[in-house]
Amino acid sequence: MFRKLVSNLPYSPSLISEIGFYARRLKNEDVTRRLTALFIVLTFVMQSLAVFSPVESVNASSEQDIIRGGVSDLDDFLVRYDHNEDDLKDILSTVGVSRDEVANTRKTTIRATSDMYMMSRFGQLMASDKEISMSYQKSTGGMDVRFFSKLTELDGAHQSFKGWVGQSASLGWFGILQSNGSLVTHGIPATFKPAAKADSNAIKTISARNITQGAPSESVKANPLDKIQYTLTLSNPQPISTSGGYELRIADILEYASLVDAGGADYNPTTKTISWPSTQLKPGSQQDRVFIVQMLDSFPETGQGSSNPESYDCKILAVFGNSHETKINCPMAKGIEGFLNSLPLLGSTGNIIFISVVALVVLFFAIRTSQMKKELRIIRHSFNNGVI
């Protein structure tokens, strides 16, 4: 339209008013272009800092870490392996990964897949078929247990981790996470025997009710100071008597709540589990165990765990046979964090390409605006001198 006005201006000088309208509009657009360019520069600087000098997570370490706080590089991992720190050598030998196979791994970004399992120090999906325990012989004597949990069940479906991947002659593909020293595998490793489980035909279920709001806790968001009552049920559908035990890990719950009524259970502060003695169940009977937690008076804005994605994720998960999840009415900052974590991971190359494309678009419009301003100056000069 602007080009058409300029070409017709010598034949119809009255169109100069339209040119004036375009001049005012162009001035406004010029301000917008300058501000856009400024924001692009600031965004590019921020993005560069985030990509090339990322900040450390305030929640970088977890009690679940195989190596507390993770490792700085592969050499650091191998030194800890040689010193058998945290039983690292014993664990990898049991699984079937040798030192040479670890040394031959390559650094990469490990993206969570639906069949990926991650090793942790304590069980996170207790009594669930999505987690399996592994017993191993300690070189110092005795036995200990570690757990393999399905990563997508730990809020890790969209997670990616820095680490190393390699191939083991007995295990196949494996990965090592830099943030926690954990081993990840595709599927449950076939190279070890699962720890023996108690032989019980009892069926385990867990339910919870927000007694402050008077509704099932899975149907409402928990607010500060709400009280939630959990019920663990053992039922025996068999025609013969059986026995069963009650044990529940409540570490995830305690991130947002405190235990106010244990219901006669014993609490282990090291493993953060509550347990009741085993009980006999007659045919067709069931027994319940109940405990109550109260939400904190204000929910922390602690960032989601970098080594344990289940940590501070605005949800509390409890697993006893089935899994039960209660959503938390988190602060706005956590909502923004959740939105950012849901965005696709482009990587440094993708981010630079995106910023470059946007910058080129802004540059194109800036050059176009500059050209139109120059044409307007020529038209104004010609009009004032009576040429038009």
What angle is formed at CA 247 by the lines to CA 246 and CA 252, rounded to 5 degrees?
Answer: 140
pLDDT of res. 63: 76
* 107 vs 363, more confident: 107
For 269-316, write each residue's pLDDT tens digit: 988 999 999 999 999 999 999 999 999 999 887 765 555 666 778 889
Q: What average pLDDT does the segment 191-205 reach?
A: 67
pLDDT tier for residue 148 given thresholds of 50, 70 and 90 = confident
Residue 59 located in a structural domain = no
- Quote the distance between the C-alpha of residue 203 and its chain's center: 31
pLDDT tier for residue 97 given thresholds of 50, 70 and 90 = very high
pLDDT tier for residue 150 given thresholds of 50, 70 and 90 = confident
Residue 191 located in a structural domain = no
Q: What average pLDDT does the segment 315-322 reach?
A: 88
Same domain, 137 and 231: no
Same domain, 209 and 336: yes
Same domain, 214 and 321: yes
Same domain, 209 and 338: yes
Residue 61 located in a structural domain = no
Residue 64 located in a structural domain = no
* 37 vs 188, more confident: 188
Same domain, 334 and 353: no
pLDDT of res. 104: 96
pLDDT, averaged across the chain? 80
For 257-267, write each residue's pLDDT tens digit: 999 999 999 99
pLDDT tier for residue 250 given thresholds of 50, 70 and 90 = very high
Boundary of a domain, candidates 308, 325, 342: 342
pLDDT of res. 132: 82
Residue 198 located in a structural domain = no
Cβ(156)–Cβ(175) below 8 Å: no
Instruction: Write out the DSSP string of 69-137.
Output: T--SSHHHHHHHHHTTGGGHHHHHHHHT--HHHHHT-EEEEEEP-TTEEEEESS-SSTT-TTEEEEEEE
Give the structural domain span for 360.
2-52+347-384
Same domain, 315 and 302: yes
Q: How far apart are alpha carbons 52 and 265 in whole angstroms?
A: 49
Give yes or no for residue 214 having a pLDDT over 60: yes
Cβ(168)–Cβ(186) below 8 Å: no
Highest-scoring range by mean pLDDT, 10-24, 115-129, 217-231, 244-258: 217-231
Q: How far apart are alpha carbons 152 and 174 in whole angstroms?
A: 17
Boundary of a domain, candidates 141, 160, 186: 186
pLDDT tier for residue 370 given thresholds of 50, 70 and 90 = confident
CATH number of the domain where residue 292 is located: 2.60.40
Nearest to 47 by CA among 353, 360, 352: 352
pLDDT of res. 302: 73
pLDDT tier for residue 13 given thresholds of 50, 70 and 90 = low
* DSSP 8-class letter at 178: T
Residue 193 located in a structural domain = no
For 15-59, write each residue's pLDDT tens digit: 556 666 666 776 777 777 777 777 777 777 766 665 555 545 554
For 57-85, write each residue's pLDDT tens digit: 554 567 778 888 889 899 999 999 999 99
Q: How far apart are alpha carbons 125 and 253 in whole angstroms?
A: 13
Same domain, 207 and 338: yes
Residue 253 located in a structural domain = yes
Same domain, 15 and 135: no
Residue 302 located in a structural domain = yes
Token digits of residue 290: 């109940």
The kind and range of the H/E element at 291 are: strand 286-295
Boundary of a domain, candidates 130, 153, 186: 186
**Number of domains within the chain:** 3
Same domain, 264 and 306: yes
* 194 vs 374, more confident: 374
Q: How far apart are alpha carbons 94 and 30 in whole angstroms?
A: 67
pLDDT tier for residue 337 given thresholds of 50, 70 and 90 = low
Token digits of residue 380: 């104004």
Cβ(383)–Cβ(16) below 8 Å: yes
pLDDT of res. 291: 97
Same domain, 96 and 180: yes
pLDDT tier for residue 376 given thresholds of 50, 70 and 90 = low
Same domain, 305 and 363: no
Same domain, 322 and 273: yes
